[in-house]
């Protein structure tokens, strides 16, 4: 694997291998010196043209735990304001020695363009591009689910037969798209829940069920409910009558959380809008995996950086 651009290009074998590698890297946390020399003398550039906190910091932490040299570039306040292009910026950073470029961009396809335009010889990791893909988020979500469900027996297995409801602003969500591909690949059954106005075009061809009735989906007792943020910054128009109306029908409220089966896990990729798509009771409950997802993101990104830096060679 030279690049990681989306979950739709992964094979099941590659996906399980990444999750297994992440499980091995998680053991670093228990060591007296929680750092490995695997990427010593390798430079990782975090090229963030879009605001981010947890993803950028998670990639930084992952690279540093592998002993890589890390350069972080943020579009705001850079030469981009003087008209410098994506190509020139990336090539400038590669000239400084970058071997792996982690890119986050508001335009769908930006990571693919960097990887395949011939501009760079570096490996490219997509840290989120427009409404297209966010593959490391989907991998950390799958990793978290696998760990919660199977624990010490998680290595080598997928998510066959696990039922997951992904709820909210699916239309604008790269997290949802990446999760649909990956969860289906790993054998899970996915149901998307959204207002009809926030269901993506072409959903009929996706390997999922779709429902606009959240309570009906909850009554079926899914193994996990993944709540999505309403992405107002990507909206060009009105998609629902009011925030109050959206919350009434699509939020994981205290009442809906109380009615969930005991085994149902609560997930959210963050950042959360508490009181809009999720209640604090649900977000802070023992069944919530939200902080686990943040922690596990470091192990998953260590696995991804390690694999792409080796150009697909296995350990």
Binding site for carbamoyl phosphate, by residue number, is 54-55, 104, 134, 137, 270-271
Question: Would you call the peptide bond into 271 cis, given omega within 30 degrees of 0 as the criterion?
Answer: yes
d(CA 189, CA 268) in angstroms, rounded, equals 18
- Interatomic CA distance for residues 113 and 101, integer angstroms: 13
Instruction: Name beta bridge partners: 190.
Output: 164
Residues forming the annotated binding site for L-aspartate? 82, 174, 229
> Cα(254)–Cα(275) distance, rounded to whole angstroms?
10
Q: Report residue 259 as tokens.
A: 């009615």
Do 257 and 282 form a contact (C-beta atoms < 8 A)?
yes
Q: Judge whether 210 and 181 are in contact, CB under 8 Å.
A: no
Element (H, E) at 267: strand 265-267
Assign 128 to helix, strand or coil. Answer: strand
Binding site residue list: 54-55, 82, 104, 134, 137, 174, 229, 270-271
DSSP bridge partners of 267: 226
Cα distance between residue 209 and residue 108, in whole Å: 25
- Cβ pair 161, 149 in contact under 8 A: no
């Amino acid at each position: 694997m030279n690049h990681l651009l989306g979950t739709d290009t992964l094979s099941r074998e590659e996906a399980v291998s990444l999750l297994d590698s992440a499980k091995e890297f998680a053991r670093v946390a228990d060591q007296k010196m929680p750092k490995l020399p695997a990427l010593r003398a390798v430079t990782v550039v975090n090229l963030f043209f879009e605001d981010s906190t947890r993803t950028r910091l998670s990639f930084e932490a992952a690279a540093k735990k592998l002993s890589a040299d890390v350069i972080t570039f943020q579009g705001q306040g850079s030469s981009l304001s003087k008209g410098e292009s994506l190509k020139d910026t990336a090539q400038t950073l590669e000239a400084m020695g970058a071997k792996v470029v982690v890119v986050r961009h508001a335009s769908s396809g930006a990571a693919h363009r960097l990887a395949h335009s011939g501009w760079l010889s570096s490996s490219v990791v997509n840290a989120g591009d427009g409404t297209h893909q966010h593959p490391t988020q989907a991998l950390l979500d799958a990793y978290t689910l696998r760990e919660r469900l199977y624990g010490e027996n998680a290595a080598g297995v997928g998510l066959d037969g696990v039922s997951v409801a992904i709820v909210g602003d699916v239309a604008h969500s790269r997290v949802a798209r990446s999760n649909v591909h990956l969860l289906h690949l790993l054998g899970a059954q996915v149901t998307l829940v959204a207002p009809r106005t926030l269901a993506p075009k072409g959903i009929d061809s996706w390997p999922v069920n779709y429902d606009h009735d959240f309570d009906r989906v909850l009554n079926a007792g899914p193994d996990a409910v993944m709540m999505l943020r309403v992405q107002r910054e990507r909206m060009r128009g009105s998609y629902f009558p009011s925030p109050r109306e959206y919350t009434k029908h699509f939020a994981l409220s205290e009442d809906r959380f109380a009615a969930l089966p005991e085994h149902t896990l609560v997930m959210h990729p963050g950042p959360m809008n508490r009181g809009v798509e999720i209640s604090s009771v649900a977000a802070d409950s023992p069944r919530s995996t939200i902080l686990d997802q943040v922690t596990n993101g470091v192990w998953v990104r260590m696995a991804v950086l390690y694999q792409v830096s080796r150009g697909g060679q296995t350990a």
